[in-house]
Amino acid sequence: MAQKFGVNDLRGVVAVTPTPALPDAGELAGRDTVDLEETDRMIRRLIADGVDGIITNGTLGEMATLTLTEWQAFTRRVSEVVSEVAPDLPLFIGATTLNTRDTVDRIRFLEDLGIHGVFLGRPMWGGLGADTMAAFYRDIADTFPDMSIVLYDNPEAFKGPIPSSVYAELATLPQVIGAKYIALTPKFAVDIAAVDGKMRLLPLESDWLATRTLYPDEALGCWSSSALCGPEPVLALRDALASGNLDAARQLTHRIDWTYEPFLARTNFPEFSKYNVTLEKLRFDEAGYINAGPARPPFLTAPEAYAEGARENGRRWRHLVDEITTTN
């Protein structure tokens, strides 16, 4: 299996999905909790609606709470759907675990399914030094020379960001084609320089216009979990940027920012990270594009003010979808 995806394939809107759950998913005795029918519907709908890529099994995709059997069942169904309806769609399945050997086993499973991309954080029981972090990714790239890797750079989940020096080193590996980047900070400029066009650093959709303005040749794509509330706003932003319609892009970004106003992720990301899964699933279900279902243990509670903020985000996003679809 030759490497299928390169940096130029990582562009447009890359949707970041949850793992749909059956009603008993919150029970400690619950097993086989993946809603495979909804998984099938979710992937087909995203593809039909026009997203440019899909990432699964990060934090909100519950990589940390799925059993191995559940992860395999979800992955197999996603793979089957993509193979059937969009075999060339850039697809990156999460395989982060607490240790390198389990991660290797999971990537072998992906490889056996014919999946060409992996979404990969790093072992996270403790923080990793820059040398250890770089060695981890080098080992994975050496072991799977044909697998394209999108890095998961979440400073809360992994006890710090990927250092710029590590970005520079990993950019020399052809397998490492991009990273899901959390926020547009001063460090982003350093990291853009470090990767020197060899890796796509994907901003959140609400940062895409600002990033594209600063780096028009590099900022050719974004990631969006809000696409799972309905991808129309992000797809419209993509099209506005592609056509050079900056007035439309600014208006869309303003409206997207409006949807995020009540959402904890925007006001206190470290605090949000304690309740990420719960709050994300609440907003997805409120928006109604998919049925995300309940979160899995231990992420079963959140303060009501946080929960209501997530639901309001979902309602506002649904309103924005209605605005766009009515206008068009």
Active site residues per annotation: 180
> Do 153 and 161 touch, CB atoms closer than 8 A?
yes
Q: In a 3-state reduction of DSSP, which class is residue 315? A: helix
Nearest to 27 by CA among 300, 220, 260: 300
Extended strands (E) in the chain? 12-16, 53-56, 91-94, 117-120, 148-153, 176-181, 200-202, 221-224
A 10 A CB-CB count for 129 gives 11
Torsional sign, CA 294, 41, 259, 315: negative
Residue with tokens 């089957």: 80
How many other β-carbons are positioned within 10 Å of the β-carbon of residue 298?
12
Q: Which of 250, 254, 255, 178 is nearest to 213 (CA)?
A: 250
